[in-house]
């Protein structure tokens, strides 16, 4: 099934002011599952300066932050007693409570800790694991209440470049009666893939990428990390929960292994000058469980966004770094 990894090369030729011919390559890649395209373009040598939020942290912390004490206990909403009699869900330093402006029927906010800002290198295994465990508890409680199928995901906007509106680090748990476009496409294409090839797509991807090695990063326990062949951003990581297809299948050890893997990915981001990212844990019952993580950045003197018309208007990923290059960089941290 090597033919599933399709690439098309386009060469662009032009001349510099001295009349010297320049040829640049654009690599168009097609996602092995969905067929969606993305582009690996010539690297212009972007200089990325990590954002600093120390002054913002002082201005937005304590009484100015809804997630800091005492606001966390006095001003945040609570769940109905049918979900949890305590109104909130706690695990270690993590606390889950309802989003005041929900994106779906059930929308929880999960605070990592009392600290208003946590630098990327300071996220411990315990903080990450406990936050995911608290989210899992919330999903399991809702799952017992709902008779119809639900579409849960655990999401993270880290720092403002990612669209995060609060510096205080937090996750968002979305539990909806309707699948998102990504979830719907993934479920539909995964079923078609299994029907056509006789194997689960993520099982195939795990075995194939581990064999090829070019985009393979590493694994801890049942959690395997690699870069995507057709990336949606300047890095695009995927973590596969092997042998898991239900929220009840995920163990504490699995979340610990996710956390250990994330620490390695964070180191790869830091080396590139990247800090902000978007992350989603897609829990697609009876299909698969996997993580996608894509860093976000602004660059240049104008503080330019990494998203332009290609991503927004054409729904096509764009990257200046090949997935193979990113995987090689991240692999040394596993």
Q: Which of 68, 135, 85 is nearest to 106 (CA)?
A: 135
Q: Name the band, by pLDDT with cuts 50, 70 and 90, for residue 238.
A: very high
Quote the pLDDT of residue 43.
Answer: 74
Using DSSP's 3-state secondary structure scheme, residue 258 falls into: helix
Residue with tokens 């581990």: 210
Using CB atoms within 10 A of its CB, is residue 209 exposed (0-12), middle (13-18) or buried (19+)?
buried
Section 55-77 average pLDDT: 89
Quote the pLDDT of residue 98.
Answer: 97
Structural domains of the chain, with CATH:
48-334 (3.30.428.10)
- pTM value? 0.96
User: What does the alpha-carbon distance between residue 269 and residue 48 come to, in Å, rounded to a whole number?
Assistant: 11
Q: Name the band, by pLDDT with cuts 50, 70 and 90, for residue 49.
A: confident
Section 214-226 average pLDDT: 98
pLDDT exceeds cutoff 90 at 300: no
pLDDT exceeds cutoff 80 at 45: no
Q: How far is CA 193 from CA 90, 119, 198, 216, 239, in A?
A: 39, 40, 8, 21, 19
- In tens, the pLDDT along 110-123 reads 999 999 999 999 99
User: What does the alpha-carbon distance between residue 273 and residue 57 come to, in Å, rounded to a whole number?
Assistant: 20
SS (H, E, C) 220-232: ECCEEEEECCCCC
Quote the pLDDT of residue 48.
Answer: 82
């Amino acid at each position: 099934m090597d033919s599933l990894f399709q690439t098309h090369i386009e060469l662009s030729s032009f001349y510099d002011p001295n009349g010297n011919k320049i040829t640049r390559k654009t690599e168009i890649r097609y996602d092995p599952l969905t067929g969606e395209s993305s582009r690996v373009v010539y690297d212009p040598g972007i200089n990325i300066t990590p954002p600093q939020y120390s002054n913002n942290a002082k201005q937005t912390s304590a009484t100015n932050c809804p997630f800091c004490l005492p606001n966390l206990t006095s001003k945040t909403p609570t769940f109905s007693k049918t979900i949890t009699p305590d109104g909130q869900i706690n695990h270690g330093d993590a606390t889950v409570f309802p989003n005041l402006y929900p994106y779906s029927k059930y929308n929880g906010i999960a605070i990592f800790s009392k600290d208003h800002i946590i630098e990327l290198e300071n996220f411990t295994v315990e903080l990450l694991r406990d936050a995911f465990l608290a989210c899992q508890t919330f999903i399991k409680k809702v799952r017992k209440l709902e008779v119809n199928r639900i579409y849960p995901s655990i999401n993270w906007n880290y720092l403002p470049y990612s669209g995060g509106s609060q510096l205080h680090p937090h996750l968002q748990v979305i539990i909806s009666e309707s699948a998102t476009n990504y979830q719907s496409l993934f479920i539909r294409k995964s079923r078609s893939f299994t029907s056509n090839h006789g194997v689960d797509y993520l099982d195939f991807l795990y075995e194939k990428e581990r064999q090829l090695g070019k985009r393979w990063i590493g694994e801890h326990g049942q959690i395997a990390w690699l870069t995507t062949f057709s990336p949606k951003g300047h890095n695009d990581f995927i973590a596969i929960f092997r042998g898991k297809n239900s929220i009840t299948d995920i163990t504490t050890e699995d979340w610990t292994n996710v956390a250990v893997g994330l620490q390695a990915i964070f180191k790869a981001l830091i080396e590139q000058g990247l800090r902000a990212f978007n992350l989603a844990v897609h829990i697609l019952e009876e299909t698969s469980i996997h993580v996608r993580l894509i860093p976000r950045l602004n660059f240049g003197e104008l503080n330019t966004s990494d998203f332009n018309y290609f991503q927004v208007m054409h729904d096509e990923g764009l990257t200046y770094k090949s997935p193979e290059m990113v995987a090689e960089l991240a692999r040394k941290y596993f």
